[in-house]
Amino acid sequence: MTDTLERPDVKPDLKVVGTRPIRPDGAEKVTGRAQFGADFNMPGQLVGKVLRSPHAHARIVSIDAKKARALPGVKAVVTGADFPNLADEFHEGGEAASNLRDLAMNVMARDKALYDGHAVAAVAATSTAIADEALALIKVTYEVLPHVIEVEAAMAPDAPVLHAHMYTEGLEERPTLPSNIARRNRIARGDLDAGFAAAEVVVQDRYVTQAVHQGYIEPHACVASWAADGQCNVWSSSQGQFMVRTYCAKVLGLEMSNIRVTPAEIGGGFGGKTTVYLEPLALALSRQSGHPVKMVMNREEVFRATGPTSGAVMYVKLGAKKDGTIVAADVELKYQAGAFAGSPVGAGSMTALACYDIPNFAITGWDVVSNCPKVAAYRAPGAPIAAFAVESAVDELARKLDMDPIALREKNGVKNGVKASYGPTFNAIGYLETLAAIKTCPQYAMPLGPNQGRGVAVGFWFNVGGESTAAVNIGEDGSAVVVTGNPDIGGSRASMAIMAAEVLGVPVEQVRPMVADTASIGFSMLTGGSRTTFATGMAVVQAAEKVVAQLKRRAAVIWDVAPDQVEWANGAAVCRDPAKSTGKTLTLEGLAAQSARTGGPISAQVSLNAQGAGPGFGVHVCDVEIDPETGHVTVLRYTAAQDVGRAIHPSYVEGQVQGGVAQGVGWALNEEYIFDRDGKMENAGFLDYRVPVASDLPMIDAILVEVPNPRHPFGAKGVGEVPIVPPLAAVANAVRAAIGVRMTTLPLSPPKIRAALDAKAG
């Protein structure tokens, strides 16, 4: 049964929501006591290690593990043969659909290795040294196959085909031959030809981005224990303990109730920990060895074998009237999916033009497999890539029209009542307010010096709701414990405590939020899609409201009044029965102390499928300075405005915005997967995969625009995804302004900019 909340009015005069209390898990995290994935150990545990393919594409002819098994200290060796073969099965889980068959084959290769780093075997041994030695003793015979990585090369008719069973979906007719194109999707409205015929100004270009990694600092880690009776325990760092449970059950053919997954503290995810890599292997090794098995990736493995997001090639053509009205848009997006189908091109297509009200458009998306790691979600999956192309094109259009870039976006911007490019009609959005916030921010008026430039770009994300469970339990002393099933990546426990405290009317310090294991709380979709504060927060609010209802009933029992004669205010029941003394109160503490005599423990649990996550919009302005001799880009200033609905804990909302900007700036300037001729990743480490360091960035001003979401009790909208959408184009547009050349291929590394300047000089 689904509970939904109809609540058109956002609560006024909030006491706790919008304040900035110290996070409840803070002291453990600043003292080094918080337990992350690799910090957990079990008695008698073994060390698990993975043997990975050194080839980008190869048939696995045979695997001989006899010598490895014979090595003293080796307790288990598993290969693809130790896992059941699964049929195609799509698992929704609230995220983009995962084909469980592909997931299982990504966890452990079967007949083919599909990318450099693909797992082909795993061992468990009594020490790291022995495990390493065992890996070296496993003899894998490969038949190396031709490989392909770049998206357009993978789409070519003569490209090596990764999956013989893959026939492009979404075409008018089913193709007669298999290819690397998993799917085409198309969104269109109006008459494109007529639109361009009516256009007075047209811009068009081709844009390229490279695969980039989420770059969380904590490598994947887990401990798994398979007991003799088949009861399994998994401790791991992930974005969802229930996701881990589901996937382990499917990949290993187990019953979910036999797997208990306990979430560790998670050291960053950004979408990259929305799937499993190690957990099923650790379970299989534990089953075979009879010992708990701990597995921890090193950084090289994280880069080579876990999800980056797509590299892409995109074509954008825009047509406008001289007054700035955009009348036609043609967008084609080609995204790398990695070794298995499922790039975020669908979301890229749906978000590409979501900020614009354009009468005639077509968006075509291509989901293309190639010999690189299977992409995983990365913050607003698909959207930053498409926004890089579209926002660069809009910037060119503004230049051609000689219009202020914000004015052009205001003129064509979506507002309430406008039908979104992806279908539904917008309501309660704050896009124009967000544009206005940037137009009036101090940075937008600051003068620029020589070799400096300013760029503006906008971004959109849907935000999602979905299934969550929360429990609120009142202790005998009146303190409250809030239990949810969502790992806390960026401070969500603080938001949960705030929302519960707001409803209960108590200080936030009186509420302790906890993240529970899969056996201790009802199902919750993973932490991702900017859903936790919205959806899980809604469950917390409803559970707290149920507790308040119980408290009022109990006060009514104590006072012997009708329940509707009791109000709840400031953490206490207030008697409104004029027959008894109106205004007398019973505090939460007082009621809790008498709970045994008024009905037993005070607690409530709510499970719901939250609808109505309001879409979010961001508008960013970036100032850069270029060294024209070296091509080096310095980001001088950055301001990001975002419609956040209502900031529950403003500091952590600002933090989401600032962090998203930093990741986007890295994507724009220096981050990229580099492959050698054999398809091996050349920069699988933080030395040459260059995420921004502290000295690369200025302070990042976050402007929180609050247009409340009427479907959330406190007006919250998701905030984590939107801020990574605009920066790629904001930086590129600033570079365009500084050097007078449009850079269409990311990253904007110094050699590329110097080459562009040299080409311009002739």
The interface with other proteins within residues 263-302 (CB under 8 A) comprises: 265-272, 274, 296, 298-300
**Residues of span 128-187 touching other proteins by CB under 8 A:** 128-129, 169-170, 172, 185-187
CB of 141 to other proteins, least distance (A): 22
Helix (H) or strand (E) holding 221: strand 221-226
Binding mask 639-678 for other proteins (x = CB under 8 A): ----------x-xx-xxx-xxxxxx-----xx---x----
Distances (CA, A) of 73 to 69, 131, 741: 9, 8, 61
Binding region for other proteins (CB under 8 A) out of 241-249, 449-457, 510-518, 630-638:
630-638
CB of 271 to other proteins, least distance (A): 3
Complex with other proteins: residue 396 or 721, whichever CB lies closer: 721
**Residues of span 19-78 touching other proteins by CB under 8 A:** 20, 22-23, 25-27, 29-36, 38-39
From the list 430, 478, 612, 713, which residue makes contact with other proteins (rule: CB under 8 A)?
Answer: 612
Complex with other proteins: residue 298 or 440, whichever CB lies closer: 298
Complex with other proteins: residue 111 or 172, whichever CB lies closer: 172
Complex with other proteins: residue 85 or 427, whichever CB lies closer: 427
Whole-angstrom Cα distance, residue 398 to residue 392? 10
Whole-angstrom Cα distance, residue 368 to residue 210? 14
CB of 37 to other proteins, least distance (A): 9
Contact 64, 139 (CB under 8 A): yes
Whole-angstrom Cα distance, residue 259 to residue 264? 16
**Residues of span 414-473 touching other proteins by CB under 8 A:** 422-427, 461-467
List 265, 396, 502, 721, catalytic entry: 721
CB of 584 to other proteins, least distance (A): 39
Query: Which residues, other chains included, contact 184 with Cβ-Cβ below 8 Å and sequence gap of 6+?
Result: 168, 169, 170, 171, 364, 365, 366, 367
User: DSSP 3-state assignment of 436?
Assistant: helix
**Residues of span 726-755 touching other proteins by CB under 8 A:** 749-751, 754-755
Binding mask 346-385 for other proteins (x = CB under 8 A): xx--x--------------------------xxxxx----
Closest listed residue to residue 283, CA positions, set 265, 260, 257, 266? 260
Closest listed residue to residue 503, CA positions, set 441, 588, 436? 588
**Residues of span 94-113 touching other proteins by CB under 8 A:** 94-97
Binding mask 673-712 for other proteins (x = CB under 8 A): -x-------xx-xxxx-xxxxxxxx-xx----------x-
Binding region for other proteins (CB under 8 A) out of 149-157, 245-253, 448-456, 624-632:
624-632
Complex with other proteins: residue 262 or 595, whichever CB lies closer: 262
User: DSSP 3-state assignment of 232?
Assistant: strand
Amino acid letter, residue 136: A
Amino acid letter, residue 30: V
CB of 426 to other proteins, least distance (A): 6
Complex with other proteins: residue 658 or 744, whichever CB lies closer: 658
Q: Which residue do the tokens 């976006």 mark?
A: 409
From the list 214, 238, 306, 469, which residue makes contact with other proteins (rule: CB under 8 A)?
Answer: 214
CB of 309 to other proteins, least distance (A): 9
Complex with other proteins: residue 500 or 725, whichever CB lies closer: 725
Laid out side by side, the sheet with 139-144 consists of: 112-113, 58-64, 139-144
- Please, where are the H alpha helices in 560-601? 588-593, 595-598
Binding region for other proteins (CB under 8 A) out of 212-220, 279-287, 437-445, 588-596:
212-220
Q: How many CB atoms lie within 10 A of CB 22?
A: 11
Q: How many CB atoms lie within 10 A of CB 610?
A: 25
Q: List strand residue ranges (DSSP E) for 100-166, in order.
A: 112-113, 119-125, 139-144
Query: Which residues, other chains included, contact 356 with Cβ-Cβ below 8 Å and sequence gap of 6+?
Result: 326, 329, 394, 409, 412, 413, 414, 421
Distances (CA, A) of 373 to 155, 213, 306, 680: 17, 10, 6, 11
CB of 514 to other proteins, least distance (A): 16
Number of residues counted as binding other proteins (CB under 8 A): 131
**Residues of span 504-543 touching other proteins by CB under 8 A:** 528-531
CB of 487 to other proteins, least distance (A): 10
Does 300 participate in catalysis according to the annotation? no
- Please, where are the H alpha helices in 632-674? 650-669
623 contributes a contact to other proteins by CB under 8 A: no
Whole-angstrom Cα distance, residue 566 to residue 551? 9
Q: What are the φ and ψ backbone dihedral angles of 683, each rounded to 5 degrees?
A: -125, 50
Complex with other proteins: residue 95 or 150, whichever CB lies closer: 95
Complex with other proteins: residue 217 or 596, whichever CB lies closer: 217
Residues annotated as part of the active site: 721
